[in-house]
Amino acid sequence: MAFTTDFSQVQEYTEFKEQPYEMVVFDAKEEPNKNGKKRIVIDFVVRNDVKQEKQNAHLWDEQYPLTDTGEYHNGILMKKAKALGIPEGKQYESFEAFLDDFKGKTAKVTVKLEEYNGKKNPKVRYINASELPTCHHVWKEKAPVSNAQNLEPDDLPF
């Protein structure tokens, strides 16, 4: 059987740059890190309906509670909700329902590169309202379901 190589669909790997990206939230939840400390994890994906680098790449944002109160910094959390277009005064039955509402919402996320052990790692610097809120992103993977295996940012080798 004959076979022909076709490199037209190959996407070369590129690093995140310190710049804004139009992103969509794939998942948002509260979960412990590998040391058992609770945190909020927002899984952003670079939108593929906007011409930009890194389409479909994931970037995780983590927010830990304040050490003195054990509560999340409400100003930071509400800034994220506002940037994602969550309406002012919207009520939720639970904190989990609040975070579930982040899924599928768009934002303009500015990336910074933080150096750790000689390696530059992309991190979320700012989250602002999207300049293109109408989203036609085509998901490359299935949306998470409650009984799916959870993949943590700490589980990844990079």
- The rounded average pLDDT for each run of 10 residues, N- to C-terminus, in the chain (158 residues) is 79 85 98 96 97 95 96 97 97 97 98 93 96 93 53 61
User: How high is the pLDDT of residue 146?
Assistant: 45
Residue 125 lies in a domain: yes
For 106, the token pair is 């768009």
Residue 48 lies in a domain: yes
DSSP-based three-state secondary structure for 2: coil
Residue 151 lies in a domain: no
Residue 150 lies in a domain: no
Could you give the number of structural domains in the chain?
1
The domain that holds 101 is classified in CATH as: 2.40.50
Residue 145 lies in a domain: no
Q: Name the residue range of residue 106's domain.
A: 16-136
User: How high is the pLDDT of residue 158?
Assistant: 56
Residue 99 CB partners (closer than 8 Å, separation 6+): 28, 29, 30, 40
Residue 146 lies in a domain: no
User: How high is the pLDDT of residue 154?
Assistant: 64
User: How high is the pLDDT of residue 144?
Assistant: 53
Q: How far is 63 from 121, CA to CA, in rounded Å? A: 16
